[in-house]
Chain A
Amino acid sequence: MDIPFLYETLLKLLTGVPLTLQLAVSSLGLGAILAVILALARLSGLRLLAWPASCYVFIFRSTPLLVQIFLIYHGLGQFHGVRASFLWPILREPYWCALIALTLNTAAYSCEIVRGALLSVPPGQIEAARACGMSSFTLHRRVVFPLALRHALPGYGNEFILMIKSTALASIITLMEVTGLAAQLISESFRAIEILIVAAAIYLFINFIVTRLVQWAEYALSADLRPPPAALEQGGAL
């Protein structure tokens, strides 16, 4: 095994990590906001809101992310109206196209996670909040969303990991994140196996951190599911 080469590759690929993380974190953040809006629309009971949201989710979950990236990057530029519009400076940049595609895609999946989580909030606890005079906004902020978040976390952790890996597809539209750099190095050196192993190891490490973070968040938000402090004291050393 050529350790110096692997080490050199690692150093080169690590320069792509900031872009990978930037794509993943931005799209997850924006996608989460969109997902909450979509989920609330789906649960609104108003057909005018629920139906478009359902269609959106259906389309973006049922088509490949790669196709979505291509359509946004190559497809939109075909329309004169798009090229002439103020959006063109954004839509001709591969970075923004990748970010938009990833955001729209994760929003569709996350919408379903959020919707399930919102449905899991016990109606009695919502009723109690109403009965004490909470406005709809306060009720969501103080009761519904905190409870839903606890339900959403395991599923959302999954989505987080999937998105880290999905950023690799951005390499196909020339972005030099970890996979893009790996492809470039392969074409220069023809040492595909070693380079791809290093790239995979980088994703593995990132997701190792991500799973720890999600676990920590789950732990921090589940004090009510653990034995009370007194029981721990009585139980002695665990």
Chain B
Amino acid sequence: MTDQLKPAVRLTELRKSFGAFEVLKGISLEAMEGDVVSILGSSGSGKSTMLRCINMLETPDSGRIEVGGEAIQLKQAGGRTRPADRHQLQRMRASIGMVFQNFNLWSHMTILENLIEAPIHVQKRPRADCVDEAEALLEKVGIAEKRNHYPAHLSGGQQQRAAIARALAQHPKVMLFDEPTSALDPELVGEVLRVMRALAEEGRTMLVVTHEMGFARDVSSKVVFLHKGAVEVEGSPHEMFAAGRSDCFRQFLSGSNGLR
């Protein structure tokens, strides 16, 4: 499949500091179309910051971010890096689905309203289409009966599935997951992972910051281990988990809860 050779996301030499603390020390990373990249690392390794740079929720100090072959334009202003073109940024963000650790569903909207909000008000698609599609997505993530409920009425697992559906409603080229199961009670983790696994099987491009070693090993096509703001080691899950190519990574694995 020649399609799979196109890079969906390419990060080049990303650097970012918070004050004197350098969080990202020149990170480069590539994800091909259809790749599922698991990003592992202990807390403070910069994995969330890196993910949040891809849709510019964090602005890198320097480096290059390409999504779908298009680079996000940056400029220097007042000693800081900023997006150069607001409209380009908004357009690119609309093509990147983001799933947060804390779901971040809009609490004043019903689940269905959450799903159709961006398609209608950002992408300007006809309402009726958006509603039909949103209902199909809710069906797919298994919470169709909750369409008229508010986020507060749902369990964490249901909220996260709704948040995934909300991201899918925008037809994203790439899906970013920022520790999607870390805020969930253990018994709710499975239902979210099942949805993510189904998406991976559809061939969606996904970048997943996670602590779920089972997911990283069984579902991803590539595993990246970050340590102190740099890519320590990366490779296929087979290479990574079988051989444990770096001492750091081996240590990280033995310290984590083990393979689920």
Q: Which residues of A contact B (CB under 8 A)?
A: 122, 124-125, 127-135, 138, 142-143, 146-147, 150, 221, 223-225, 227-231
Give 8 nearest A-B pairs by CB, closest first: A133-B94, A224-B150, A128-B104, A133-B93, A132-B118, A124-B104, A131-B98, A228-B153
- Mask, B134-168, CB within 8 Å of A = 1, is 00000000000000111111000000000000110
Beyond A224-B107, A224-B152, whether A132 also contacts B100 by CB under 8 A is: no
| Cβ contact within 8 Å between B104 and A142 | no
Residue of A nearest to B169 (CB): A132
Q: How far is the CA of A143 from the CA of B166 in the complex (A)?
A: 15
Q: Does B108 contact A (CB under 8 A)?
A: yes
CB pair A127–B57 under 8 Å, yes or no, is yes
Report the number of A-B residue pairs with Cβ-Cβ less than 8 Å. Answer: 79
Contact A224 B94 (CB under 8 A): no
Partner of A225, one of B104, B122, B152, B167: B152
- 24 CB contacts below 8 A, A to B, read A124-B100, A124-B103, A124-B104, A125-B104, A128-B104, A131-B57, A132-B117, A132-B167, A133-B92, A133-B123, A134-B90, A134-B121, A134-B122, A146-B108, A147-B106, A147-B107, A150-B108, A221-B108, A224-B107, A224-B108, A224-B151, A228-B149, A229-B149, A231-B153
Of residues 80 to 139 in B, which have CB atoms within 8 Å of A's CB atoms?
86, 90-96, 98, 100, 102-108, 117-118, 121-123
B221 interfacial contact with A, CB 8 Å: no
Closest A residue by C-beta to B98: A131
* Contact partner, B90, options A128, A133, A143, A230, Cβ 8 Å: A133
Chain B interface bracket (under 10, 10 to 19, 20 to 34, 35 or more):
20 to 34
Task: Say how far A155's CB is from chain B's closest CB, in angstroms.
Answer: 18
Shortest Cβ distance from A151 into chain B, in angstroms?
A: 11
Question: Taking the nearest CB of chain A, how far is it from the CB of B117, in angstroms?
Answer: 7
Residue B107 contacts which of A122, A135, A228 (CB distance < 8 angstroms)? Answer: A122
Smallest Cβ distance from A196 to chain B, in angstroms? 44
Residue ranges of B at the interface with A (Cβ–Cβ < 8 Å): 55, 57, 86, 90-96, 98, 100, 102-108, 117-118, 121-123, 148-153, 166-167, 170
B148 contacts across to A, CB distance below 8 A: 229
Q: Please give, as numbers and ranges, the residues of chain B lying within 8 Å of A127 by CB-CB distance.
A: 57, 100, 104
Contact of B153 among A134, A138, A227 (CB under 8 A): A227
B108 contacts A129, CB within 8 Å? no
**B101 nearest CB neighbor, chain A only:** A124
- Residues A125 and B107 in contact, CB atoms below 8 Å apart: yes
B150 x A223 contact (CB < 8 A): yes
Identify which of B55, B102, B152 contacts A131 (C-beta below 8 A): B55
**A229 to B117, alpha carbons, bound, how many Å?**
22
CA distance A231 to B117 in the complex (A): 26
A124 touches B149 (CB 8 A): no
**Minimum Cβ distance to chain A for residue B105 (Å):** 7
Which residues of B have CB within 8 Å of A228?
Answer: 149-150, 153
B90 CB contacts on chain A under 8 angstroms: 133-135
* B98 surroundings in chain A (CB, below 8 A): 128, 131-132
Query: Shortest CB–CB separation between residue B211 and chain A, in angstroms?
Result: 20
Q: Are B104 and A147 in contact (CB under 8 A)?
A: no
Nearest residue in B to A231 (C-beta to C-beta)? Answer: B153
Flag if B121 contacts A142 (CB, 8 Å).
yes
Contact between A134 and B118, CB atoms less than 8 A apart? yes
In Å, the complex CA distance between A150 and B98 comes to: 26
- With both beta carbons as reference points, the residue of chain A lying nearest to B123 in the complex is identified as A133
Q: Which residues of B contact A229 (CB under 8 A)?
A: 148-149
Q: Hey, which chain A residues are within 8 Å of B94, CB to CB?
A: 132-133
Select one of A129, A131, A221, A231 contacting B96, CB under 8 A: A131
* Cα A129 to Cα B101 with chains together (Å): 15
Complex-state Cα separation, A147 to B107, whole angstroms: 8
Q: Report whether A129 and B106 are in contact in the complex, using a CB–CB cutoff of 8 Å.
A: yes
Given A130-B93, A133-B93, A147-B108, 8 more A-B residue pairs with CB atoms under 8 Å apart are A122-B104, A131-B98, A132-B122, A133-B95, A133-B122, A143-B106, A147-B107, A224-B108
Contacts of A224 in B (CB 8 A): 107-108, 150-153
Complex CA distance for A133 and B153, rounded to whole angstroms? 26
Residues in chain A near residue B123, CB distance under 8 A: 133
Which residues of chain B come closer than 8 Å to A130, judged between CB atoms?
A: 57, 93
Q: Residues of B contacting A135 with CB < 8 Å?
A: 86, 90
